[in-house]
Amino acid sequence: MTGMNTELLTLLEKDARLTPAQLGTMLGRDEQSVSDEIAEYERNHIILGYPALIDWTKTDDELVTALIEVRISPQRGDGFDRIAERIYQYEEVESLYLMSGSYDLAVTITGRSLRAVAEFVHARLAVIDGVTGTATHFILKKYKEKHHLYTKLPEQEERVLFV
């Protein structure tokens, strides 16, 4: 793929609802060339999807999100990949990253309750061959995700200092 337009990708990442016509106007290009480029990015798996970012705290569902640190013993010949492939196949797993630092993998899951998350960790994750330890961190409040604020802060009062 030649001449990748990261500006187009950045605009789509911030708002995937923008139409090719809108994107073309923003980029000074014609709609058809933008549509063709998006289609090529989709074919080449550069654009993986168009997810909506939902603030679940404003719905009737009470969900719990957890970040799980996973320490593993790399497999001969496969390194971390084989264990990572096994973990990302679980429906509960939203994100999985190879990390540097004190743990190897970061797993993000969302469950119906603290108990559901704990059950996933001890019954599915911790028992995988090669997993040597886990640490679960529950997300208490989301402030910002993917460049979007969850709650707008009230406008600060202008403070004037008289001396």
Tens place of pLDDT per residue across the chain (163 aa):
556 779 999 999 989 999 999 999 999 999 999 999 999 999 999 999 998 888 888 888 888 999 999 999 988 888 899 999 999 999 999 999 999 999 999 999 999 999 999 999 999 999 999 999 999 999 999 898 888 888 876 665 556 666 6
64 and 32 belong to one structural domain = no
What residues contact residue 55 under an 8 Å CB cut-off, 6+ apart? Answer: 142, 150
* Structural domain containing residue 17: 6-43
* Per-residue pLDDT at 61: 86
pLDDT at 110: 92
135 within domain boundaries: yes
For residue 10, being part of any structural domain is answered with yes
110 lies in some domain = yes
Q: What angle do CA 96, 97, 100 make, to 5 degrees?
A: 150
CATH number at residue 95: 3.30.70.920
Residue 154, φ and ψ in degrees, nearest 5: -65, 150
pLDDT at residue 158 in the model? 58
Q: Is residue 112 part of a domain?
A: yes
Q: How many structural domains compose the chain?
A: 2
